[in-house]
Structure 1
Amino acid sequence: MTQDPDRLFAQPLAQVRDFVFNEDVVRVFPDMIKRSVPGYPTIVENIGVLAGRFAQPHSVLYDLGSSLGAVTQALRRHVKAEGCRVVAVDNSTAMVERCREYLHAQDSMFQELLPVDVIEADILALDFQPTSLVALNFTLQFIDPERRLELLGRIRQALLPGGALILSEKLRFADDEEQALLTDLHIDFKRANGYSELEIAQKRSALENVMRPDSLEDHRDRLLAAGFRKVVPWFQCLNFASLIALP
């Protein structure tokens, strides 16, 4: 399938509107995420590897905020436990439609993949089934901060013993010098991937009211408050990290 380059913010905009996952974003999303999130391909592929350890036979695996299904595809490649199925959930109609296309293409390339249900829904209203693996890959940061603990608590209640939540997020830092350094390094990463100063500035404006990152300490404290017994950071690249939370 063709993937367009991300030029959404390349021209000066009279008004920079809040970022939404619409058809324009979906069209360029693979290029956007690769050039904007350091370590993204490593995180996605290794969520599949990690899931291979935690997925239990005949259980549901959730990809929450599934976007175009990159994590779902990784789960299908790596999970070998018998009788598992993936439930991929996103609230963007455009994302869900394209995700289904991508997964259909994956079906044609691989044999005996896990079955998938792609659902358009608000994950805050989702009725969770018992699950051995939940992936929240750069999704929680778009949830209302006041409702993040509620969501994590419901995920914890649905997790089977021996299962895991894998949570990937952009981080903020309490130390001002550390925050400034890692912000500057992230901007350098974007420049190195071909984004102009205008693109960087306009996208930052579009996201500032939509994406609200937490610190690593906030994530750990919230996960423990939600009932998880152990939180293990397994990956960090600049100001992006991924954690394993164990019930």
Structure 2
Amino acid sequence: MSKNPQVDKVFSEEIKKPSDFKFGATVANAFDDMVERSVPFYNEIQRMIIELAAEHAMPHTQVIDLGCSTGTTMIGLDPHVAKNIRFVGVDDSAEMLKKCEAKLKEARFERNYELVLADLHNELQIENASVVILCLTLQFVRPIYRERLLRKIYNALVPGGVLIISEKILAEDSLFNRNFIKYYYDYKRRNQYSELEISQKREALENVLIPYKLSENFKILKEAGFQHVENFFKWYNFSGFIAIKN
């Protein structure tokens, strides 16, 4: 994390003309505080992603973070893998990549790396990867494009390579969804988000963040070619899972 992240006030004032959530400069500047206060156990999820990535990262390959945002995962992983592993951070927000570059410099990041501005809905050139990470990213890819993206990732992975995903999810039984969402909003209230902030962010995300059930995620991963898929984290409507290419 940045030493002094800007406090998230993105939705603190009433918005007269609501629009879909965008990862622009305002969000980028407050993003580190936003995810820490909005995603349950975010720091532990990051630690687990780094632990899993370090276990599977192979010499002379690439670690690719799709939706790298401000570079938290790359910075955390850097000390734990061989220096001959190249890092690639991909994001569709130029403002996020600008913030990421600043954080990498602040962290004295000396590894060979590349930051790429790209939309995951479009053609994406990735190859020779032993680890691909989608941390709170796949949920923003429109459903019609998700299987194509996962197949592209599968093809880009070397044998034994892994895809690590963290996602907001739906309950398997819809009966539980309402309660899980209520518990989640209670979590946000405990982190000092107001009712206005909660409701306005929910409205902004409604058309852009489309969660799947855990079983639906597993299904599309297996259809993309992954034979081994496992859940490594679960908190109500948040989950982390890993898929391995044989």
TM-score per shorter chain, which class? Answer: over 0.9
Unaligned stretches of 5+ residues in structure 2: none
TM-score, L = length of structure 1? 0.94
The answer for the alignment partner of 2:89 in structure 1 is 88
The answer for the alignment partner of 2:100 in structure 1 is 99
Q: Partners in 2 of 1:77 and 1:16 — Cα distance?
A: 42
Shift of 1:82: 5.0
Letter in 1 for 2:237: N
**What's the CA shift string for 1:101-129, capped at 9, x where partnerless?**
10011116xxxx53221111123421111
Query: Which consecutive segments of 4 or more residues in structure 1 shift more than 2 A?
Result: none
CA contact (8 A) 1:38 1:238 kept: no
SS of aligned partner of 2:33: helix
Corresponding residue to 2:14 among 12, 15, 32: 12
Q: Partners in 2 of 1:4 and 1:18 — Cα distance?
A: 22
Q: How does 1:5-154 map to 2 (within 5 A)?
A: 5-79=7-81, 81-107=82-108, 114-123=111-120, 124-154=122-152
CA contact (8 A) 1:19 1:206 kept: yes
The answer for the alignment partner of 1:235 in structure 2 is 233
SS of aligned partner of 1:66: coil
CA contact (8 A) 2:172 2:214 kept: no
Q: Partners in 2 of 1:85 and 1:8 — Cα distance?
A: 34
Q: Partners in 1 of 2:8 and 2:24 — Cα distance?
A: 14
**What's the CA shift string for 1:177-227, capped at 9, x where partnerless?**
211111011001000000111110010000000110111010000000000
**What's the CA shift string for 1:42-66, capped at 9, x where partnerless?**
1112211111110111001100000
Shift of 1:3: 2.1
**What's the CA shift string for 1:7-36, capped at 9, x where partnerless?**
111122212211000001111111111110
Shift of 1:74: 1.8
Q: Partners in 1 of 2:54 and 2:174 — Cα distance?
A: 38
Letter in 1 for 2:29: R
CA contact (8 A) 1:48 1:77 kept: no
Letter in 2 for 1:238: Y
Q: How does 1:171-190 map to 2 (within 5 A)?
A: 171-190=169-188
Corresponding residue to 1:200 among 183, 198, 201: 198
CA contact (8 A) 1:172 1:215 kept: yes
CA contact (8 A) 2:168 2:237 kept: yes
Letter in 1 for 2:6: D
Q: Partners in 2 of 1:155 and 1:208 — Cα distance?
A: 27
Letter in 2 for 1:119: V
**What's the CA shift string for 1:121-154, capped at 9, x where partnerless?**
1234211111100000011111110010000001
Unaligned stretches of 5+ residues in structure 1: none
How high is the sequence identity, in percent, across the aligned residues?
Answer: 39
CA contact (8 A) 2:172 2:215 kept: no
Q: Partners in 1 of 2:204 and 2:107 — Cα distance?
A: 32
SS of aligned partner of 2:230: strand
SS of aligned partner of 2:130: strand
CA contact (8 A) 1:47 1:74 kept: no
